[in-house]
Amino acid sequence: LSKIFPCESQIKTKNDIDADTNTDADTESSHNIIHNKQIIEDLGLERIYYGMVSYIILLQYCYEHNTTLVEKLTKPNTSFLDSNRYLILTHNAINQINLLSTNKNGVKHNRLNRNIDSLFSVINYTNTPLGKRYLMSKLCNPITDIKLLNETYDMTEDLILNRSLLNDITLFLKEIPDLERYQRKLYLRIIKPNEFVTLFKSYLTIVKIYTKLYESNLSVKKMLFQASEFNQCLSLIFSKYKLEILSKYKIDNNKLILSESNLNENLLDNKLFFDKQDDKADSYWKDIKRYQEH
């Protein structure tokens, strides 16, 4: 801002101002304004004034508390602002119609002994943090696209009618932690060995879910897609590292060392890499190979 709006104390009189310096300053200011405008357009926020202001304030707040929080961010998702596909809840509508909880104490309990204080608490039967955030997003940005709604209804009905498949998937989902949090740590290179192990074991669980859905031939199958880079990453990690052993390590001064609780164990049993022939590696590989074939 100081480059775009120079301090008035620096400006003396018109006669004292060097024309060339002024020209350079104006050029630099214009360049900054154009550059900032391009960034806003790239983020898709140029037509969302209040959203843009809120986003900038949030970034500033995060930056002041921890500068690493604003590194390697993905672009904000503004697709839900498409009024042809989603209902836009403006002003204070979310609180006024009690979509989300504003009272931590709740008002009553249901059969699962959960607080009932909003529409979200009534319909929330998700099993993962990812599912919880997804449900909140759908509640706050209701779908109005009839085709999309019908597709969602069909997929939901298919799963409900296939109770055994739904139960299997539910059990798998309960094994998955907050993947977004672990992935964020991985991007920032601050993830711990045991968290890395948890992340990739969760990926393997996702592979199993994917395979079950694909083999079911239900309508949800059309949402599945092949991710070659993801496959290559899984193949590399699960064929090279012993994740059970890696979880016993910690990082100290950028070095991977055994944690104190595992120092007394037989070092031969703490070999980090798989041999060429290993039953555990073969087991991992079979799951991934089965997924890749689909």
What tens-digit pLDDT sequence spans the chain (294 residues)?
233 223 333 333 344 444 445 555 556 666 666 667 787 888 888 878 888 888 889 989 988 988 888 887 888 877 767 778 888 887 688 888 899 887 655 555 454 566 788 999 999 999 999 999 999 999 998 999 999 999 999 999 999 999 999 999 999 999 999 999 999 888 888 888 889 999 999 999 999 999 999 888 888 888 888 778 888 888 888 888 888 888 877 777 666 676 655 545 554 455 666 555 455 555 655 555 555 555
CA distance 211 to 172: 12
- Residue with token string 């843009």: 52
CA distance 270 to 193: 14
Specify the pLDDT at position 13: 39
Specify the pLDDT at position 155: 92
CA distance 205 to 202: 5
Residue 206's closest CA among 175, 166, 238? 175
CA distance 93 to 240: 52
Task: Find all residues with CB under 8 Å of 108, minimum gap 6, and list them.
Answer: 115, 116
| Domain spans in the chain, listed from the N-terminal domain onward | 77-144, 148-294
Q: Which amino acid is at 137?
A: S
Asked if 259 and 248 count as a contact pair (C-beta separation under 8 A), the reply is yes
CA distance 293 to 287: 10
